[in-house]
Structure 1
Amino acid sequence: MGGPPSIPALVRARVRAAVRRPSRLTPEETAGRALTLRLVSLLLQYPDAELTTARAELTTVVEALPVTPAAEHLARFTGWFAAQDPEALERHYVEMFDLRRKSSLYLTYYLHGDTRRRGMALLTLNQRYRAAGWDTDGGELPDHLPVVLEFAALAGPGGGEAPLRRHRRGLELIHRALTDADSPYGHVLAALLTLLPPPTEADRAAVAQLVAEGPPNEEVGLDPYGTYGEGEFAPPGTFVPPLPAPPTHVPPAPTSRTEGPR
């Protein structure tokens, strides 16, 4: 057997454990975390007239946050956000999030691509929201990052933030794509990532593979959120709809997608 762990090793282990146990935060820290998540959710939404009108108020709220790495990143973003012409903000948002697959805000796309598994992941997210008594009102898909962030803020650090932790690699890819594009929105993703466990070597390798190869692609529809196929495994505790009966005719070949993932 080896000797006792070194002091630096003990410190690293304790830091990792603290990051992975957000439920042990004080009530004040939990409230501050929820506010940060809500701010990130707001700042990642389309900059329509209502949001751009509230820029001064958002800047004031960010400036009042306790000094943290997340607050510093948000302050850098809101400084840019407040100074831009509204039409320029709209164009920049569309370019970053609607026209680039590597910075799309639909999280299950990075984990499952255009496959049947993505449909089940969307269904699982909806089930999680409903079990917590939260209705998304159907305005966006349940994996849209601002929606996931709002749920995390409402439901708390444990189960509420579980979808963010599950999609850590997709968030890393979005952050990398925004940073490579020199977009100030990279600061918003950076603020979010400071709240999550640090990436593992496996995470970094998976992100590198996503950059090189992209997500899996099966060219299937998402309505009504798809099902698992034969030989595929659903996440534990999820409802798996029965497989459909074999078709009595040959279906037409699927058409290729020409728009960003949704």
Structure 2
Amino acid sequence: MLTLKALSALLTYPSRELVRAIPAIREAIAVAGALDGYAMAALEPLLASLSREDLYDLEERYVLLFDRTRAHSLNLFEHVHGESRDRGQAMVDLQALYEGAGFSIDAAELPDYLPLFLEYASTLPEAEARALLAEPAHVFEALRERLARKESPYAAVFAALVALAAQAPEASSFEALAEIEETDPNDLEALDRVWEEEEVRFGPGAATAECGVDSLAAKVRQARRPAPGLETPAMMGPRTVFTHSSATDRA
């Protein structure tokens, strides 16, 4: 789904390449036709901001919003597993899912970094992509709500992801999301306190024999139980890179 590739780009760290690609991203979303007029209009403030505002201001805002506040983290399992040791195994399973499809991560990001996840989903047939999005849809909705309270234009990206999911998140799925304190990104003491967590291990030897979409779905669904590019590289931010072992273009 080309729309997912465009949304992935919008969630990457602002860069000059991303700014230059905004007209192409806007056109791709419109041509793909996966979003209705309301969702497309909701994205326009973010598109306009990225194309017109000073790059340094965009970078600072992004860091304060996503990198210094766990409540808005772009790492999916931060919201699903929090400090649970299940997080490490879920990370291994997700990386195995990518590798099983012939992809490897060539970036300094964890496998659950949302732009990476969306980049992978964009290569799937539409029905599979929508089904995959449905599993963390409750996380997308929680992020949409938190960002909307801050009047952030990024909230529209998460609203679009919820709209693209095969089914809306169930109300009960929100109750077991990891409790994450919303902190002032300028309050360094609060940030230190919130980011303190147990060591999470993942890597060789930690994986189980079971992997794939069903396994990933099971990992994401753990949050519901009461336990504890475009074809142009410019659309992809510098922090999100996939390499494919096959010569076939799956996008």
TM-score tier, shorter chain, comes to: 0.5 to 0.7
- Please identify, of 56-65 and 163-172, the stretch whose mean Cα deviation from structure 2 is larger: 56-65
Residue type of the alignment partner of 2:200: G
TM-score (norm 1): 0.65
Q: Could you list the per-position Cα deviations for residues 19-54 of structure 1 after superposition, in whole angstroms to 9, with x for gaps in the alignment?
A: xxxxxxxxxxxxxxx111111000000001211222
Distance, in Å, in 2 between the alignment partners of 1:123 and 1:40 is: 24
CA separation of 1:226 and 1:46: change in aligned 2, threshold 3 A: farther
CA separation of 1:219 and 1:114: change in aligned 2, threshold 3 A: same
Q: Could you list the per-position Cα deviations for residues 72-104 of structure 1 after superposition, in whole angstroms to 9, with x for gaps in the alignment?
A: 333342123222111111111111100111110
Q: How does 1:171-190 map to 2 (within 5 A)?
A: 171-190=140-159
Partner of 2:85: 116
Uncovered stretches (5+) of structure 1, i.e. residues with no partner: 1-33, 229-233, 240-262
Distance, in Å, in 2 between the alignment partners of 1:187 and 1:70 is: 7
Distance, in Å, in 1 between the alignment partners of 2:68 and 2:14 is: 16
Q: How does 1:44-55 map to 2 (within 5 A)?
A: 44-55=11-22
Whether contact under 8 Å (2:87, 2:200) holds in the other structure is no
Question: Aligned pair 1:219/2:186, yes or no?
Answer: no
Residue type of the alignment partner of 2:210: G
CA separation of 1:121 and 1:106: change in aligned 2, threshold 3 A: same
Distance, in Å, in 1 between the alignment partners of 2:210 and 2:26 is: 42
Partner of 1:58: 25
Whether contact under 8 Å (2:144, 2:155) holds in the other structure is yes
- Give the alignment partner of residue 199 of structure 1, picking from 126, 146, 169: 169
Residue type of the alignment partner of 1:151: Y
Shift of 1:193: 1.0
- Please identify, of 136-145 and 192-201, the stretch whose mean Cα deviation from structure 2 is larger: 136-145
What root-mean-square deviation, in Å, do the aligned CA atoms of Structure 1 and Structure 2 show? 3.1
CA separation of 1:138 and 1:76: change in aligned 2, threshold 3 A: closer
Distance, in Å, in 1 between the alignment partners of 2:126 and 2:176 is: 25
Q: How does 1:14-25 map to 2 (within 5 A)?
A: none
Distance, in Å, in 1 between the alignment partners of 2:18 and 2:159 is: 21
Q: Aligned pair count? A: 198
Whether contact under 8 Å (2:89, 2:206) holds in the other structure is yes
CA separation of 1:163 and 1:124: change in aligned 2, threshold 3 A: farther
Partner of 1:142: 111
Distance, in Å, in 1 between the alignment partners of 2:95 and 2:131 is: 14
Whether contact under 8 Å (1:118, 1:225) holds in the other structure is no
- Give the alignment partner of residue 237 of structure 1, picking from 203, 210, 222: 210
- Give the alignment partner of residue 70 of structure 2, picking from 101, 114, 122: 101
Shift of 1:169: 2.3
Distance, in Å, in 2 between the alignment partners of 1:90 and 1:181 is: 17
Aligned to 2:63, the other structure's residue is in SS state: helix
Distance, in Å, in 1 between the alignment partners of 2:205 and 2:153 is: 35
Whether contact under 8 Å (1:55, 1:81) holds in the other structure is yes
Residue type of the alignment partner of 1:198: A
Q: Which has the higher Rg, Structure 1 or Structure 2?
A: 1
Q: Could you list the per-position Cα deviations for residues 157-182 of structure 1 after superposition, in whole angstroms to 9, with x for gaps in the alignment?
A: 34445553322222222212211111
* Percent identity over paired residues: 31
Distance, in Å, in 1 between the alignment partners of 2:40 and 2:60 is: 26
Residue type of the alignment partner of 1:237: E
Distance, in Å, in 2 between the alignment partners of 1:77 and 1:159 is: 28
Residue type of the alignment partner of 1:222: R
